[in-house]
Amino acid sequence: MSSTSSTSRKPAASKTRTTVVSLLAVGALLGAAGAASADGTGTRPSGAPTGDGAKALCKRAPKIDQRIDRILDRLNGDVSQRGSIARLEQRVANAKSAGHTQIETYLNSRLTFRRSLVPTLEGRRKDLADVEKWCTSHADGAGS
């Protein structure tokens, strides 16, 4: 009986050795592939940008400028303008006078964010004007 149990152990040990050797071989192959890509000898992933996108930005700049102007006009609109700061201020005042403190708190958070948009967008407008000047002097980014 002891001879049967010793024969059943040998194949299990053999399977373990085969598994270990196989894992080591796969690890060595993966290690070599990782080293090749780290050296820069690997290929560039498809869809990776080749430049800074100047040409595309120069092409889109006028539409971006229009969008910024439209948003700033809406934010600076009067009480009748949906999305304006003045309209949201009126809603906060209405919630306060009605005693709806949770609504007032929520609307105040939105108002704070909406007010912060104005300087951000004005900064982007200024930056975009500089980009448009650059595009004009560099043939709409075609040279880069």
Measured between alpha carbons, how far apart are the two ends of the chain, in Å?
A: 81
Q: Is the pTM of this model over 0.85?
A: no
Going by the DSSP 8-state scheme, the letter that residue 99 receives in this structure is T
Local confidence pLDDT in tens for the 144 residues of the chain: 555 555 545 565 666 667 666 666 666 666 655 555 555 555 556 666 678 888 999 999 999 999 999 999 999 999 999 999 999 999 999 999 999 999 999 999 999 999 999 999 999 999 999 999 999 998 877 765
Q: Assign 3-state DSSP to the chain and report helix, strand, coil percentages, each to 5.
A: 80, 0, 20
